[in-house]
Amino acid sequence: MVRPTPRTESGIPIEPVYGPQDLAGWDPAVSLGEPGAYPYTRGIHPTMYTGRPWTMRQYAGFGTAAESNARYHRLIEGGGTGLSVAFDLPTQMGHDSDAPLARGEVGKVGVAVDSVEDMRVLFEGIPLDRVSTSMTINAPAALLLLMYQLVAEERGIDPALLTGTVQNDILKEYIARGTYIFPPGPSLRLTADTFRYCRAEIPKWNTISVSGYHMAEAGASPAQEIAFTLADAVAYVRAALAAGMEVDAFAPRLSFFFVARTTLLEEVAKFRAARRIWARLMREEFGARDPKSLMLRFHTQTAGVQLTAQQPELNLVRVAVQALAAVLGGTQSLHTNSFDEAIALPTEKAARLALRTQQVLAHETDVPHTADPFAGSYAVERMTDEVEAAALALMRRVEELGGAVAAIEAGFQKGEIEANAYRIVREQEAGERVVVGVNRFALDREEPYEPLRVDPAIEARQCAALARLRAARDGAAVERELAALRRAAAGTGENVLPPMKEALRARATVGEVCGVLREVWGTYEPS
């Protein structure tokens, strides 16, 4: 029986042996350069982790702001160097906890934040001028960032000292995730307004994290992941340029968010190819001159979609391999998933083990002691070229359709991702792609496991807190600031973030602010 040729997740054949013939005509001076130098294939810093390790950022948030705050303190005490906030679905969709659509979802997949009061509790005792914070929020990203700034100002912290990232990547929501509110046009305006606002008010903040992670979780191959992510980034750059900004005024604050799978070699190749594509694109198409504009800086999260509820302890091994791929690929920050996330929200012990996985890589292996250790590998360099070529072909197709937004409206990216997801599932069902513990080496009977459960009474407590907030605040002031926001949103030249900030300062809620924008901009209905 002839065994089929193994292929990467992008469908590229994997040869049993690679050698010099696979890099015929390959010029390392053009394709590689040095670490910290154009085209940044080998990493964006000359020394990479030899100076300091990547940021160990653990994604967490559940229930109330107070419960999440307690988890953040324990993560920092355990050696975490950055926070990453998960918000519940009502917050992500711009609804208050007492909205009819929020029923049953409050605090379930993240923390409920209805107003600046919740944000204050969420970061109680956290040194905002010394801890880097990432917020995974998209459609209402500007609101949550402004709340964070308001809390810092209340403490007397200069916003110029705040560091972190707001995801703020709405285009991938239309492609793969679905937590959109407004149509693409107004959403891109809000993104560009955030770029302008942060340049003036919060200059160290990363204003967007263009995300391929959620596309990968929906089934995108590595080539699709970087192609569609970079195509979205091009749309954001064009939107900022159309708003009158200079490319080197905002491009250094762009960042990216990718997945790390267990297919270690292709993942390393993917990260290296993405850096090279972005550097050339920014220099050759957009004329960027600041080296920081050319550097693709990215956060990585290990692949949640590859975790299994069967034999969940195996996920510890998967996460370690995925994390190693991210580190070998040159990530700037990393979140390692907990082994029990395929079952429920992670327990505290599981979250601690996930962080310890990164610490073992940083302190017990020799991987951080040299930059880009796979440079010159016949296999990895060939894969880097192949993933790059596949990604560029997809990016050209997006351009032929009129750019990322037009391609989204045509359903191109979504269709390509779904087709790839179907291929992977068929391969798993046929046994061609092994998932240990699921389609091979399964147990007859799984061992019982007690997951973390969110208290259903949280919803009632959040609703009661909202009622107290509305009763205690100056209602006339809230209406006045919301009216100012409405006028700004209805116009074309005014940045909506300053009036939005004043409405939040007056204790307007997430649902009220998003409600005003819904009135003016409408909501997106997929075709």
Q: What pLDDT, in 10s, does the model give residues 288-299?
A: 999 999 999 999
pLDDT at 2: 58
Helical axes 510-521 vs 141-154, angle rounded to 10°: 140
Helix, strand, coil % over all residues of the chain, rounded to 5? 50, 10, 40
Count the alpha carbons within 13 Å of 184 in the hemisphere toward its beta carbon: 18
Domain residue spans of the chain? 20-429
Amino acid at 156: G
- Judged by DSSP in three states, 210 sits in strand
Measure the CA–CA gap between 105 and 90, rounded to whole angstroms: 7
Measure the CA–CA gap between 472 and 128, rounded to whole angstroms: 27
Count the alpha carbons within 13 Å of 305 in the hemisphere toward its beta carbon: 15
* Enclosing H/E stretch for 82: strand 82-86
Measure the CA–CA gap between 108 and 106, rounded to whole angstroms: 6
Ordered DSSP codes for 316-385:
HHHHHHHHHHHHHTT-SEEEPPPTTTTTSSPPHHHHHHHHHHHHHHHHHSSGGGSS-TTTT-HHHHHHHH
Count the alpha carbons within 13 Å of 364 in the hemisphere toward its beta carbon: 8
Measure the CA–CA gap between 147 and 116, rounded to whole angstroms: 5
Residues 6+ apart with CB under 8 A from 292: 251, 252
Q: Which strand ranges, in their side-by-side order, compose the sheet holding 132-136?
A: 205-206, 164-166, 132-136, 82-86, 55-60, 333-335, 298-302, 254-260, 208-211
> How far lies 417's CA from each of 92, 156, 421, in Å?
23, 46, 6
Measure the CA–CA gap between 45 and 43, rounded to whole angstroms: 6
Which residues of the chain fall below pLDDT 70? 1-3
Structure tokens at 381: 């360099």
Residue with tokens 């699709």: 224
- pTM equals 0.92
Sign of CA pseudo-dihedral 110, 115, 121, 122: positive
Residues 6+ apart with CB under 8 A from 479: none
- Judged by DSSP in three states, 524 sits in coil
Class of domain 20-429: alpha beta
Helical axes 510-521 vs 475-490, angle rounded to 10°: 30
